[in-house]
Amino acid sequence: MSFLKKILIIFFFLIPFSNSFAGMVTESQNLTVGDGESKNINGVDFNTDGTKMFVLYQQQKDNSNTDPRFVDEYNLSTPFDISTASYAGDSERCELDDGTSDNSKRRVFDLDFTKDGLSFFHSVGNAGSNNEDLQAIHRYDLTSPFDISTCTFASDTVNLNSDALQNDSLAGDPDGLKKDNRAQGVEINDDGTKLFVLMTDATAGGSAPDRILEYNFSTPFDLTSISLRLDAGIEIPHATASNSMSIEFGAEGKRLFLTGHNNDFVVQISLDKAFDTSSFTIDGKVNLNDISNTDQLRTVTFTNNGLRMFIGNDQSDTNPSGDNIFEYNLVCPFNIISGKCPPISENKVRTGMAIAQIEIAKRTIDHSTDTALNRLKWIRRNKDKQNLTNLNIDFNFTNQRLASLTEAVRTSAAKKKKKDKEEDIFYWSEGSIAIGRIGDTSISSTKKIDTDAITFGADKFTDENGIKGLAFRVGRNSIDVGNEGSNVDTDTLNITFYSTSPLENDTKFLDTIIGFGKLNSDLLTVQDGGRTTAGRGGHQIYGTIRIKDEIKKDNLTLIPSGRFDIGHSYLESYKESGLGAIDVKGQHITSKKIRAGLAAVDDLPNDKYDIKRHGKIEYVADIDRSSRFKYTYVGDSIEKFNDTLHTGALHNINGEIGIDIVLPDRFSIFLIYERNQALGSGHTDKLHIALGYLPNKETNFAFSIDGTDNLKSNYVLSKNINDYNIDLKLTSDLMRPEEYDEVSFNLRREF
**CA pair distance 189, 589, nearest whole angstrom:** 38
Task: Specify the length of the chain in residues.
Answer: 751
Please say whether the beta carbons of 240 and 267 come within 8 A. yes
Say whether pLDDT at 305 is over 80.
Answer: yes
52 — pLDDT class (breaks 50, 70, 90): very high
What pTM, to 2 d.p., does this model score?
Answer: 0.74
Between 685 and 521, the higher pLDDT residue: 521
Find the helix or strand (DSSP H, E) in which 98 lies: none
For the chain, the C-alpha Rg in angstroms (whole number) is 35
**Strand partners for 72:** 55
Query: Over the stretch 178-216, which tens digit does the pLDDT of each residue have?
Result: 667 888 899 999 999 999 999 887 765 667 888 999 999
Between 515 and 160, the higher pLDDT residue: 515
**CA pair distance 100, 126, nearest whole angstrom:** 15
**CA pair distance 7, 24, nearest whole angstrom:** 31
**Kind of pairing between the strands at 712-721 and 25-33:** unpaired
**CA pair distance 135, 122, nearest whole angstrom:** 11
SS3 192: coil
**CA pair distance 484, 465, nearest whole angstrom:** 55
666 — pLDDT class (breaks 50, 70, 90): low
Residue partners of 110: CB distance under 8 A and separation at least 6 = 42, 43, 56, 122, 123, 184, 185, 186, 187, 198, 245, 246, 247, 299
pLDDT of the residue at 588 = 96
3-state secondary structure string across 417-451? CCCCHHHCCEEEEEEEEEEEEECCCCCCCCEEEEE
**CA pair distance 265, 313, nearest whole angstrom:** 12
Between 312 and 611, the higher pLDDT residue: 312
- The one-letter amino acid code at 554 reads D
505: phi then psi, degrees, rounded to nearest 5: 55, 30
**CA pair distance 58, 16, nearest whole angstrom:** 38
| Range list of H helices, 530-683 | none
Say whether pLDDT at 673 is over 80.
Answer: no
Mean pLDDT of all residues in 60-66 = 68
pLDDT of the residue at 4 = 47
Query: Over the stretch 539-578, which tens digit does the pLDDT of each residue have?
Result: 999 999 999 888 888 878 888 999 999 999 999 999 999 8
3-state secondary structure string across 388-426? CCEEEEEEEEEECCCCEEEEEEEECCCECCCCCHHHCCE
- The one-letter amino acid code at 456 reads F
Mean pLDDT of all residues in 143-166 = 91
384: phi then psi, degrees, rounded to nearest 5: -65, -30
Eight-class DSSP state of 237: P
Query: Over the stretch 447-464, which tens digit does the pLDDT of each residue have?
Result: 555 666 778 888 888 877
Report DSSP letters for 157-183, one per residue. -S-TTSGGGTSSSTT---TT-GGGEEE
Query: Over the stretch 342-396, which tens digit does the pLDDT of each residue have?
Result: 998 888 888 889 988 998 898 899 888 988 887 787 777 656 554 444 434 333 3
SS3 711: coil
Average pLDDT across the chain, whole number: 78
Closest CA to 669 of 715, 605, 611: 611
pLDDT of the residue at 146 = 96
Query: Over the stretch 68-82, which tens digit does the pLDDT of each residue have?
Result: 788 999 999 999 999
Mean pLDDT of all residues in 627-631 = 94
Residue partners of 61: CB distance under 8 A and separation at least 6 = 36, 37, 38, 39, 316
430 — pLDDT class (breaks 50, 70, 90): low
**CA pair distance 372, 545, nearest whole angstrom:** 12
Say whether pLDDT at 667 is over 90.
Answer: no
Closest CA to 221 of 68, 336, 119: 119
132: phi then psi, degrees, rounded to nearest 5: -60, -25
Please say whether the beta carbons of 34 and 323 come within 8 A. yes
Please say whether the beta carbons of 488 and 363 come within 8 A. no
Say whether pLDDT at 403 is over 50.
Answer: no
Please say whether the beta carbons of 318 and 18 come within 8 A. no
Across the chain, which distance is largest between two alpha carbons, in Å? Answer: 116
**CA pair distance 368, 471, nearest whole angstrom:** 9
CB neighbourhood size of 731 (10 A): 15
**CA pair distance 710, 733, nearest whole angstrom:** 7
**CA pair distance 675, 711, nearest whole angstrom:** 30
Query: Over the stretch 212-228, which tens digit does the pLDDT of each residue have?
Result: 999 999 999 999 999 99
Say whether pLDDT at 230 is over 70.
Answer: yes
Region of 261 on the Ramachandran plot (φ > 0 left; ψ -120 to 50 alpha; else beta): alpha
**Strand partners for 352:** none
- 640: Cα separation from own chain's centroid: 22
**CA pair distance 371, 386, nearest whole angstrom:** 20
Between 727 and 46, the higher pLDDT residue: 46
Query: Over the stretch 244-282, which tens digit does the pLDDT of each residue have?
Result: 889 999 888 999 999 888 778 899 999 999 999 999 999
Region of 110 on the Ramachandran plot (φ > 0 left; ψ -120 to 50 alpha; else beta): left
